[in-house]
Structure 1
Amino acid sequence: MSVSTRTYHRGDAETLFEIFVEAIHDGASAHYTDAQLHAWAPSQDMPDSWPYTMAKLETWVAEAKGEIAGFMCATPQGYIDLAYVRPCWMGRSVAQTLYDVILKRARNTDLTRMTTHASLMARPFFARQGWQVDEMEIVDRNGEQLKRFAMSLTLGAPHDTTL
């Protein structure tokens, strides 16, 4: 199966929000209670701020078999802010393909460290990529306590361009 990536277009916002909700309510349901899932993604209605959030980050979209299968967003400073895959595409190279694009961009900009806050669902994926857990955290989402992990990846020293 071939997964391709491209940059975010404003017209993707609604589909990416649907994937966000699906990935939480269906994909992460084995890791969180119904109350926690509802607190994390309380509404099926896209907030007005969602397209702006997607546009201000470096957002990459994965497509497979003619549909959007997932997305991953990072800041220029190397913080992976959002990473979601449609449940029917989980375990089929979508997250890996998106991650590889973001990692390559980070290396090309000479970042030495990347960070994220990983859910119980995402932690194993990042661990397989060599990320370390810096701290386990409990965060409040709409009155519910959710466990997550501050994680980081050391990329090495930037390229020395002086001779």
Structure 2
Amino acid sequence: MKLRKYQPTDCAEIAELFYTTVHTINAKDYTKPQLDAWATGNIDRSAWDQSFLEHNTLVAEEGSTIVGFGDMDSNGYLDRLYVHKNYQGKGIASAIVNELEQQAARQGVSFFTTHASLTAKSFFEKRGYRAIRTNQVDRNGIQLTNFIMEKSNIKGM
């Protein structure tokens, strides 16, 4: 597996990975209506591409297949982190987050935040993030629960 910077030509494959991952991996924690509201299959690829280009976005590849992606803004907010349904548990998410955090730290970021799904909460807790509060997100009239989580990058805290 190798990590590389996002390229606009990745967007279509990433959109498919996002949809498939949400509808399979997150199905253990969310209902079908919640999954459908979260990942409709009809994202605005232009908006996602722009967001990926504005953020530090990394893509994980196995051969020529994208197996994961993650993006962090300049303030240390980890926006998206998804790993292909067939590549779960192989350290891909950890590798992506490690690199994003290290790059952000080199830019002077000392505090990381994310909105973690029910499915991802334990992953982030193992990485030193702590849940600040439970959050309810409304997507097309459907309520989704996630957790606002944070992590200090300052040693000793």
Identity %: 31
TM-score (norm 2): 0.93
For 1:30, the equivalent position in structure 2 comes to: 28
Provide the rounded CA distance (Å) in 2 between the counterparts of 1:67 and 1:92. Answer: 15
* Residue 137 of structure 1 pairs with residue 131 of structure 2: no
Quote the residue 1:102 is aligned against: 100
**Could you report, residue by residue, the CA deviation over 1:20-53 in whole angstroms, capped at 9, with x for unpaired residues?**
1011111111110000000001125654322222
Q: Unpaired segments of 5 or more residues in structure 1?
A: 158-163
CA distance in 1, matches of 2:81, 2:43: 19
Instruction: Compare the two structures and name the one with the higher helix fraction.
Output: 2
Distance in 1, matches of 2:43 and 2:70, equals 20
Residue pair 2:133, 2:147 contacting (<8 A) in 1 also: yes
Alpha-carbon offset, residue 139 of structure 1? 1.1
Please report how far the alpha carbon of residue 112 of structure 1 lies from its aligned counterpart in structure 2 after TM superposition: 1.5
Instruction: Please give the secondary structure, in 2, of the residue aligned with 1:140.
Output: strand
Q: Distance in 1 between matches of 2:48 and 2:103?
A: 23
Structure of larger gyration radius:
1
Instruction: Check conservation: 2:136, 2:146, Cα contact below 8 A.
Output: yes
Pair 139,70 (structure 1): closer, same or farther in 2 beyond 3 Å: same
- Return 5+ residue gaps in structure 2 as ranges: none
Q: Which residue of 2 aligns with 1:21?
A: 19
- Match of 2:2? 4
Single out whichever of 109-118 and 147-156 deviates more from structure 2.
109-118
CA RMSD, 1 decimal: 1.4
d(CA) in 2 for partners of 1:45, 1:90? 23
Normalising by the residue count of structure 1, what TM-score does the alignment of the two structures yield?
0.90
Question: What is the count of residue pairs matched by the alignment?
Answer: 155
Deviation sequence 1:63-120 (CA, Å, 0-9, x none): 1243110000000110000001111011111101101101111221221111010011
Distance in 1 between the 2:50 and 2:109 partners?
Answer: 25
